[in-house]
Amino acid sequence: RFMAGTHWQDISRLLGRPGPFAGPDFDHTLPIREFMANDCRILVIGAGGLGCELLKNLALSGFGHIDVIDMDTIDLSNLNRQFLFRTKDVGKSKAIVAAEFINTRVTGCTVTPHFCRIEDKDAAFYRQFQIVISGLDSIVARRWINSMLLELVQYEDGQPRLETVIPFVDGGTEGFKGNARVILPGKTACIECTMDMYPPQITYPLCTIANTPRLPEHCIEYVKVVLWPQLRPDVSIDGDDPEHIKWIFDRASERAAQYSINGVTYRLTQGVVKNIIPAVASTNAVIAAACANEAFKLASSCCPSLDNYLMFSDSEGVYGLTFPCERKVGGEEICGASVRVRASACDVHGVTGPLDCPLALSRPPAVYATARGAVCVCADAQENCFGCGQVPVRVAVSSTTTLQELRQRLIDDAEFRLRAPSMTATVGGANRVLYMENPAAIRAATTPNLEKSLAELGLSNDDIVYITDPSTARPSRVQLTVS
């Protein structure tokens, strides 16, 4: 048990004196330790392998008020690495049990649990925190909290107001590999800026799993996507239901025996059904330590924070690399000019005015009239983030493109990767629902629009389509470039 009186002496000593590595905003005469203990509120998202390590590290680093949110319950397989849980806790809420453990062991630290989905909390809930740290195993959840923190940012003269920026420290592990990153919403690269760094989920061709299975995963996937819908069409697969996993395991074992395939186990079955990658406790410890260290630096300014992405691997030796992920920003931000109206050409194409864009033109440019004259913006400068960009992302389509084709592109394209997008637009001066996933009545009424072309729906060049999706907390925009 750690007592509040003596345990924080080393931290107080660290924060109470200047040093060569201190950041420019660090002032050792300020009561930083008291701020961390009394006023700085931290939100930890996830109480699993990373979350347990994070809660322990933050509590022992001097943070006095921590909230933890997790919708999951404790499984027997968690106990080999999620050390805040015991056998008696199996079936209980991870958030509640983890909070009780820390509150009992570390005097002076109060952990408040939230046994729910992150989507169940509104903007007012997230606005009360000074730092948000995630230890998630889901890209969808990362995108949602990323968009929520971006939604909280307020802008003045095109720049984010610093008091509305809540730092987001994100950690992730995959076997012996991991990463930690620091995101300042609206100022540095966000999750959407680097979506191409996340590999797509592994899928198996249906023809392979149905006709020529070669791997144990093929047998499991066959039962999951073929046999289950045939034999149990009225029941949705629940990866946390032992009866469902046992049913799939038994039939996958039978199919594996038919094709002389070894290696189908209950654990592998559960991993394929839930898309689980085996976790390594040592990797969790390293990444959680890096995230907690960044939270400490952000709260105290004792050292400059990570700029801004740390990659770690210990599969062969120990390897680490730190590099800055770059934001995807619109051309007007790169050029340093505020876009007023779109122009027909720049000065090199016949319009008088300075050419402000410093980037080489790689394809026919977009041209804007700005406060400083006509500006050419090259293709690279036009690249814009779907999440944190202040201008809509451009999407090239043809007049014959159907709404279904546009929607499918938003689902399949690596830049978007949406799950079930709903779309609206302003057509003829009036707001029009193009397609709405929910409620069911509106979905039925708008489904015929999916087969219509964009021209038939009244959409033309430069029109903006507004998109809502379960993976984001706020509406997004795309602007059509119609050929």
Rounded to 5°, the CA angle 187-481-432 comes to 90
pLDDT exceeds 80 at position 395 = yes
Q: How many CB atoms lie within 10 A of CB 351?
A: 17
Tokens of 24: 């420019």
Cα–Cα dist 327/389, whole Å: 9
pLDDT at 358 over 80: no
Write out pLDDT tens, residues 208-256.
788 888 889 999 999 998 999 999 988 888 887 889 999 999 999 999 9
Encoded amino acid at 109, one letter: C
Full DSSP string of 280-298: -HHHHHHHHHHHHHHHHHH
Q: How far is CA 148 from CA 140, 168, 185, 244, in A?
A: 12, 11, 10, 34
Residue 394 phi, psi (nearest 5): -80, 135
Give the per-residue pLDDT at 355: 38
Give the CA diameter of the chain. 77
The predicted structure's pLDDT at residue 344: 40
pTM for the complete prediction? 0.75
Distances, alpha carbon 58 to alpha carbons 133, 293, 373, in Å: 10, 9, 51
Share of the chain above pLDDT 70, in %: 85
H/E element, 448 = none
**CA 451, 457, 461, 467 torsion: positive or negative?**
negative
Paired with 68 in beta bridges are 44, 113
Among residues 40, 52, 193, 207, the one annotated as catalytic is 207
Taken in order 15, 20, 26, 28, is the CA torsion positive or negative? positive
Give the separation between CA 328 and CA 331, rounded to whole angstroms.
10
Residue 385 is among the residues annotated as catalytic for this protein: no
Query: Which band of pLDDT confidence, cut at 50, 70 and 90, is reported for residue 383?
Result: low
- Cα(394)–Cα(275) distance, rounded to whole angstroms? 33
Residues 51-68 as b or e (16 or more Cβ within 10 Å = b): bbbbbbbbbbbbbbbbbb
* CB contact at 8 A, 71 and 272: no
Report which listed range, 58-72, 156-170, 275-289, 449-463, is most confident: 58-72
Integer Cα distance of 305 and 327 in angstroms: 17
- In sequence order, what E strands does 364-407 have? 366-370, 373-377, 393-397
Amino acid at residue number 275: N
Distances (CA, A) of 81 to 59, 280, 283, 333, 427: 18, 8, 11, 45, 55
* pLDDT at position 353: 35
List residues bridging with 426 in a β-sheet. Answer: 431
For 103-162, the pLDDT digits (tens) are 999 988 999 999 999 989 999 999 999 999 999 887 888 989 999 999 899 888 778 888
Would you tell me the crossing angle of helices 49-59 and 281-300 to the nearest 10 degrees? Answer: 40
Angle at 235 between CA 233 and CA 238, to 5 degrees: 130
Neighbouring residues of 476: CB distance < 8 A, sequence distance ≥ 6: 386, 387, 393, 466, 467, 468, 469
Per-residue pLDDT of 159-186, as tens digits, reads 888 899 999 999 999 889 999 999 999 8
**Residue range 25-47: mean pLDDT, rounded:** 91
Query: What per-residue confidence (pLDDT) applies to 167?
Result: 95
